[in-house]
Amino acid sequence: MPVLVIEHATLADGRSDVDVVVRDGQIGAIGPGEGALVRALGANDLTQWIDAQGQLLSAPFVDAHFHMDATLSYGLPRVNDSGTLLEGIQVWGELKPDLTMQALLDRGLAYCDWAVAQGLLAIRSHVDTSDPRLLAVRAMLELKKRVAPYIDLQLVAFPQDGVLRYNPRSSDPSCSHSALDLLIQALDLGVDVVGGIPHHERTSQAGADSVRMLCELAAERGLLVDMHCDESDDPMSRHIETLAAETVRLGLQGRVNASHATSMHSMDNYYVSKLMGLLRQARLSVVANPLINITLQGRHDTYPKRRGMTRVPELMAQGITVGFGHDCVMDPWYSFGAADMLEVAMMGLHVAQMTSQQGMQQCFAAVTQHAAQILHLPHYGLKVGHPADMVLLQARSVFEALRLRPQRLMVMRRGKVLAQSSPRISTLSLPDRPSTTRFFWPA
């Protein structure tokens, strides 16, 4: 494989005029002047050169929470008119009997095309196990296999209708399995992570029981845990407390994530001060889903309306790893989206009011390095010896990337270019003004 040299790049940590040398699909060198060294040592006709022109070169984007089985199903069988979480679950339940393997694969493959074009090369997707056929599970496992050359797709066994609440015989009277049996079958088939939804069980006690049962299952199998936890405006929805306690009891520290955790937005500050210590002790990570949380939460409020997203800057200040997820794209819960994790980061920045320079960097990290940590991705990031996975953006800094949500000029995996886009340049016909603009300032 020829040597590739990317010159004059700016990195997310602020370093500028950096060269990256790629050999055999790996980063062979990174730093100022590395391109000049390649020339001095005798670059040949096979050496490829890319001038980044001071633009931002980043590790790929990572989506820490998504629902690939539901994506691009907007309007099937109908639109969620109320826009609430519960009607979304109802609409998805109406669609499930009509799902087919081919439709799930077609939508998943189309979404993964979008993801690659956006520089999104790792996704953790929850997949519904509340179906005696496990059709979505089988489809997503096949999708994972197909996209493996270009996307790391991690799957979570997610009992959408509740691992204790759902009775499979309501879907198929001949089914002799429990909802837990179906979840275990999904793991046996190759799903990677144990999921749950304790706040959707019939009672708080049943929710706590489900957390305990599912964490024990993960401990027995040596698996990671990622639960939808307290996706509610109810401040008394406190299953994250049980999740942290079970994590410590079972020695799962550093292997458990709480997704959403929106009830924390409404909790009493004194209780949260206690909760933060429990989360630190458990080394629990948290994933917020800004686009969906700001859309679904606060639906029962008049005014003032709660934003609903969990306490992102406060969690980060406590040293808790926080990632962002897209969660939904054109499905029963959210009508919009295009696999753009910078849109997710920008919404998180706004909702959490993280407008400082540090806050901007943290929101960018929530869709890159912090999300990668939550997924336990090995060898992630722009470092010597790591795979040459990277994205060149039409922006000169993290600030500009967030502000513009710019073109991904180049998306690379293992040293191979997967996607390219032309720069965004608008042509102007104005008196005494430049003939083009790229929306940079200073220009």
- For the segment 232-256, the average pLDDT, to the nearest whole number, is 98
Least confident of 45-49, 224-228, 239-243, 346-350: 45-49
Asked if pLDDT for residue 411 goes beyond 80, the answer is yes
**237-258 as b/e: b if 16+ CB within 10 A:** bbbbbbbbbbbeebebeebbbb
Give the H/E segment covering residue 124.
Answer: strand 120-128
d(CA 57, CA 410): 9
Phi, then psi, of 237 in degrees rounded to 5 = -80, 100
The beta-carbon contacts of 419-424 under 8 Å, at least 24 apart in sequence, are 419/116, 419/117, 419/119, 421/117, 423/394, 424/394
pLDDT given for residue 40 in this prediction? 76
pLDDT tens-digit readout, 76-85:
999 999 999 9
Across the chain, what does the average pLDDT equal? 97
pLDDT tens-digit readout, 188-208:
999 999 999 999 999 999 999
362 pLDDT band, cuts 50/70/90, is very high
Hey, what are 174's tokens?
A: 């001949």
- For the segment 392-411, the average pLDDT, to the nearest whole number, is 98
1 pLDDT band, cuts 50/70/90, is low
36 pLDDT band, cuts 50/70/90, is confident
pLDDT tens-digit readout, 163-194:
999 999 999 999 999 999 999 999 999 999 99
pLDDT given for residue 46 in this prediction? 74
- For the segment 276-283, the average pLDDT, to the nearest whole number, is 98
pTM over 0.75: yes
Cβ partners under 8 Å of residue 44, min gap 6: none
pLDDT given for residue 202 in this prediction? 98
pLDDT tens-digit readout, 296-319:
999 999 999 999 999 999 999 999
Instruction: Indicate which residues carry an active-site annotation.
Output: 231
d(CA 370, CA 154): 16
Nearest C-alpha neighbor of 94 from the set 109, 75, 71: 75
- For the segment 392-409, the average pLDDT, to the nearest whole number, is 98
CB-CB contact of 295 with 305 (8 Å):
no
